[in-house]
Amino acid sequence: MAEETFPLTSYINDYLFNQFVIKQKEIRMYDLTNGKLISIYNDVFGEENSSENITKFKIDKPHRKAYVASDSGRIYVINCQNGVLLKKVT
């Protein structure tokens, strides 16, 4: 049976009309116009069995980039529209 985790926070991007639901190890993105799940990012830090957890999630002012920080100090910058990794800061 899979371990159930609860959301840490949620963020609504009113520029792209989507919502991010952040859990310890995943980010879910929903379309606010129809309520459908757009995508799930299970492997945010690139290692499937990583012990790292998401500790902070922040979107920049133009609402185009999301900053995701781990408890080990890594920061990833991802595209808010399609989830593509833009930059790694370690």
Question: Measured between alpha carbons, how far is 3 from 12 in angstroms, rounded to an integer?
Answer: 26
pLDDT in tens, 31-88: 999 999 988 888 777 665 568 889 999 999 888 999 999 888 889 898 888 778 899 8
Q: Which domains does the chain have, with CATH numbers?
A: 9-89 (2.40.10.480)
pLDDT in tens, 4-36: 678 989 999 888 898 999 998 889 989 999 999
Write down the pLDDT at residue 81: 81
| pLDDT beyond 50 at 1 | no
